[in-house]
Amino acid sequence: MHKHPMINIAVRAARSAGSILLRNFDRVDTLNVTSKGLNDFVSEVDRSAEQAIIQVLKKSYPDHAILAEESGAHPGNDYQWVIDPLDGTTNYLHGSPHFSVSIALRYRGELEHGVVYDPLREEMFTASKGSGAYLNDHRIRVTARPDLRGALLGTGFPFRDQRYMDAYLGMFKDLSKETAGIRRPGSAALDFVYVAAGRLDGFWELGLAEWDFAAGALIVREAGGTVTDLAGGNRHFESGNTIAGGLKTHAAITKAIRPHLNEKLKF
């Protein structure tokens, strides 16, 4: 399978960050347990992982722009890398083994390439626009479930913005009645690629940052799925509110949560 050179560089960058995350993950147990101590530690790991990614990308593409969780926006040309060096920070801090590295590339605003890497499981999810989605070089597809019966969904609580909580809990309640179960593992990037790989049938979340799901959104689309905002439109990167899934699952989630949408949500 021939991969685009830009994907190969992104994979190299993700591996480089992943090795930093793994090396420090073993130290979580031995840390000073004050929350400041923990938060400083994870910020340091975050920053080192992000620097490792930027270093690899800049070496090959010195003129590209960058939008990264820790260091913000770095100016450049029409190409922009969107980076989350550690998605699942809270899990990481608690020694819970579920976190990832997410790297996407946009060209003039359009997603071109995406990589999500789970260093603990050695799982590398990749996609390039128009070329399908892969897990460690095997093609992946979303499930073709006809409705929500028996569906397994992923989600995340909107802890960053409490204004959404009531609407979200209403959605959660209605969806939990209709499905086989709802999981909240704590790394949105992995939730998206699990939808792409058919491990989850669908996913919804409110209040995400774009680096949480830029790569994941492309990987879901290339795996045959749909990614939209809560109203079925394309403002998900503006609002941070999103639904992902196979065509019918996506439609069923959209329908189930419609009664809970309100002006505050901005879809």
Between CA 14 and CA 219 the distance in angstroms is 15
Would 237 be classed as within a structural domain?
Answer: yes
- The position carrying tokens 């400041």 is 36
Listed residues 140, 172, 187: the one ending a domain: 140
| pLDDT digits 0-9 by tens, 173-221 | 999 999 999 999 999 999 999 999 999 999 999 999 999 999 999 999 9
Question: Model confidence at 138, in pLDDT bands (50, 70, 90)?
Answer: very high
Residues 90 and 123 in one domain: yes
Range of the domain at 39: 5-140
Count of CA atoms in the C-beta half-sphere (13 A) of 116: 31
Residue 242 structure tokens: 């999103």
DSSP 100: E
| pLDDT digits 0-9 by tens, 140-174 | 999 999 999 999 999 998 877 778 888 999 999 99
Listed residues 119, 140, 161: the one ending a domain: 140
CATH number (domain holding residue 207): 3.40.190.80
pTM for the model: 0.96
